[in-house]
Amino acid sequence: MHHIVPRLTAARIVPVVRASTAARAATAVAWLQEAGITTFEITMTVPEAPALIRALASDPSLLVGAGTVPDARTADACLEAGARFIVAPWVDADLAAPVKAAGACLMLGALTPTEVRAALAAGADVVKIFPAASAGGPSHIKALRAVFPDVAFCPTGGVDARNATDYLAAGAAFVGIGGRLVDEALIAAGDRAAVQRAAEDALGIMRA
């Protein structure tokens, strides 16, 4: 097991940060960090995402990764910026070499047993199940665990504070939560209280 996986598992929730500007993404991270969250996936859909990763990675209290990484060149840029884990919502064997060379953790996306097997063969340390909710939700994770009892699964897509514990009970190692936690409309409106309330609710449910 990669040494980052227990840290991700302990976090239980990994916010998937998507925003139309780097400033809004940075604001989301700051507000969520104030609420007690210290693990973040910054997606490559955020403008100038590697620069944001570099800024966040300078804080030793944070565990920062890069998401929706399309190719090895982008992975290299994120790893050089300080990303500790690299995430793609599909299987891409070309990501393994740069990620392993950097000592980082690789999370590849899959949905079916065949795709899970392909992700593992491509070097995945964690298999991201995406889109989780539309594929069957917690029952899908439970079915996959029956075939892959030792694989760390991270369901993402339709996961929120209300159903996250169901995914964990079904066998997920941790979950990724996107728009239900990183709500750009609330960020744009400056509603820090609402964003932090959602984070605190999620953390409270996880701790319970």
Catalytically active residues, by annotation: 41, 128
Gap between the Cα atoms of 81 and 46, Å rounded: 15
In 3D space, the residue among 204, 187, 157, 148 whose CA is nearest the CA of residue 24 turns out to be 187
8 A C-beta contact, residue 179 and residue 18: yes
Gap between the Cα atoms of 129 and 112, Å rounded: 9
Gap between the Cα atoms of 83 and 177, Å rounded: 19
Gap between the Cα atoms of 21 and 25, Å rounded: 6
**Cβ count within 10 A of residue 6:** 12
Gap between the Cα atoms of 74 and 62, Å rounded: 21
For the four alpha carbons of 88, 129, 1 and 163, in that order, the dihedral sign comes to: positive
Which residue has 């990183």 as its token pair?
182
